[in-house]
Amino acid sequence: MSAILAENLVKRYLVAQKPPGFWGEVRHFFLRAYKVVEAVRGVSFRIEPGEVVGFLGPNGAGKTTTLKMLTGLVHPSEGRALVAGHVPQRRERAFLRKITLVMGNKQQLIWDLPAWDSFRMNAAVYEIPEGEFKKRAWELAEMLGLEGKLHQPVRKLSLGERMKAELLAALLHRPEVLFLDEPTLGLDVNAQAAVRGFLKEYNRRYGATLLLTSHYMADITALAERVLLIHRGRLLFDGSLEALLLRFAPYKEVRLSLERPVEEGLLAHFGEVRALEGLEARLIVPRDRLLEAVGAVLDHLPVADLEVKEPPVEEVIGRIFQDPLPEEA
């Protein structure tokens, strides 16, 4: 049985349209006009138990709306979802014990109380026995490096420590399916790395399924074996990062270290010049011309060093989201 199943999920909202000006305000008060906005348009995918999947898309693409449908916070207008064998919108107790939703811009911890007190409340909500609660809390605290922070008021914790404590609170009931919406939002580089390491270890230790959205591509590349790409409410891609690059980036990046400066116009004969700073240059070359282009570069340019790489994933995805959808092209 799949951990997460989405079949043709659609979510429509009625949005009030208000004309400008004073009389527009009056008309809007007495006679409102609405338009239908489709936030999610026919999204389908399947995630197996234990998978870690990145869910990518620009702001307003439909990521959070999809997560809310999968957690039962929002009912789909069409289609169906199954998560851990349950229909999410029914919000059954057995279902709620199997999932958790962590949003980087929301908090459940009580600001003026120690995090430990919030953990106790969560344990009571999920009916976790006292001995089991303490065992799980200290185990997670050790994994997160929070052992000395649990009895400090939440307001005295750093942003990274608060995010770790939020994760601990969300995972006390040991859910099978984790929905993570920007879990490293606003964290510094070290705190981001710590959260990623914890999530990877949690997945390995407990076999949990993770569906992760993030604007930090380092989160996705460090954790996800597979990515879902959503744009304007539609699923554009479902596959590995390598397959994503092959499909949407039919080119390679050639990085050059030169022995002496050259003109940008000369470099442009060998590929698209993406950057030229002093003796360092970046060229974009179509995959089917790579061998020919590299040979020509070595023959005609003063090359001290040359490296061929895949283009940065965030750059490829940025270009995808700048383009119109296929039917709009």
- What 3-state class would DSSP assign to 153? strand
C-beta separation of 78 from 10 below 8 A: yes
Domains 4-245 and 250-309 belong to one CATH topology: no
Rg from Cα positions in the chain? 24
CATH of 250-309, one of 3.30.70, 1.10.3470, 2.40.128, 1.10.1330: 3.30.70
Instruction: Domain ranges for the chain, please list them.
Output: 4-245, 250-309
Q: Which fold has domain 4-245?
A: Rossmann fold (3.40.50)
Enter the tokens of residue 274.
């993406």
Distance between CA atoms of 281 and 13, rounded to whole angstroms?
A: 48
304 φ, ψ (degrees, to nearest 5): -90, -35
Report the chain (329 residues): mean pLDDT per 10 consecutive residues: 94 87 80 87 96 91 93 95 96 95 85 92 94 94 90 91 92 95 87 91 95 88 93 93 84 93 92 92 92 93 92 79 54
Range list of β-strands (E), the chain? 4-17, 33-47, 52-56, 78-83, 99-103, 177-181, 209-213, 226-231, 234-239, 251-258, 272-277, 280-286, 303-309
Q: CB within 8 A of 21, min separation 6: which ones?
A: none
Give the pLDDT score at 74. 94
Enter the tokens of residue 31.
């006679």
Give the pLDDT score at 132. 95
